Amino acid sequence: MGRVNDTKTALVTGANKGIGFAVAQGLGAIGFTVAVGARDDARREEAVERLRTAGVDAFGVALDVTSDDSAAAAAAAIEQTTGRLDVLVNNAGISGRTDGGAQDPTTLDLDVVRTVLDTNVFGVVRVTNAMLPLLGRADSPRIVNMSSNMGSLTLRTGPIMAAYAPSKSMLNSITAQYARRLADTNIIVNAACPGYVATDFTGFAAPRTPEQGAAIVIRLATLPDDGPRGGFFDDEGAVPW
Ligand code: NDP
């Protein structure tokens, strides 16, 4: 992949580790300035330093996706630093507690459902809507929502997790709604599945590397203007809804 011509800026949420960090590094490697969205100051600064050491033009943005105020402040910080946003990767996500049958549908803990939705779905809406004015200033804006094939109603894959899996189904549905709403604009929105990736999220017990998981995200973040809209993709192509 060639370097981006003009300097473009990408915000990656939850970029301090895991797949988000690999997305930040990968976008940085092809010439993006990367806004490292992370909620914890120390973890964010450490990630920014690691990216800079790797040659990436990175800056930190304080961002807790569960807070409207934090999303608004993050947008203001990016506006001040780069004036616009070319790519938004909504990567931050949580699995939610599973102890005591918390995600067994027959004993489902609705507080866990609320917590997971607040990050995995409402967080995406908060951050996206805060960033849309900045994305609207870019020539070819792209939004990539980090989903999972566990959210596929067709595949029904992975363990039974009645908070996490439905959160990704809803994220897919919201992605389609954004794509419809933005159909007559230059903003392209898609959802990505990274595959089963070794991160904290999976206890590092998974076959794929964060870089492998990041590849589809980077592809969707750099789609040409006639690229697909409102789809759900992994490395192999379209994932069934
Ligand atoms: P990690 O647990 O390694 O990383 C998750 C990231 O999200 C961390 O940076 C974390 O920050 C951040 N985060 C969580 N809550 C918030 C919040 N409220 N505000 C800001 N940041 C937050 O997981 P992965 O890298 O594996 O997962 C990244 C995404 O990929 C998730 O959306 C996940 O659902 C998805 N995914 C992962 C798969 C896998 O196999 N690993 C498979 C399919 C999808 P902090 O360090 O502060 O907690």
| Extents of the domains making up the chain | 9-238
Over the range 33-65, which residues count as b (16 or more CB within 10 Å of their CB) and which as e? bbbbbbbeeeebebbbebbeeeebebbbbbbbb
CB 61 less than 6 A from any atom of ligand 1 = no
Q: How confident is the model at residue 169 (pLDDT cuts 50, 70, 90)?
A: very high
pTM: 0.98
CATH node for 9-238: 3.40.50.720
CB 10 less than 6 A from any atom of ligand 1 = no
Averaged pLDDT for residues 216-236: 98
Confidence at residue 2, expressed as pLDDT on a 0 to 100 scale: 45
CB 92 less than 6 A from any atom of ligand 1 = yes
> Rounded to the nearest whole angstrom, what is the distance from the C-alpha of residue 129 to the centroid of ligand 1?
20
Is residue 171 within 8 A of residue 148, CB to CB? The reply is: no
pLDDT(241) > 80: yes
Confidence at residue 1, expressed as pLDDT on a 0 to 100 scale: 44
Query: Which residues participate in catalysis according to the annotation?
Result: 164, 168
Instruction: Calculate the average pLDDT of the chain.
Output: 97
27-61 pLDDT tens trace:
999 999 999 999 999 999 999 999 999 999 999 99
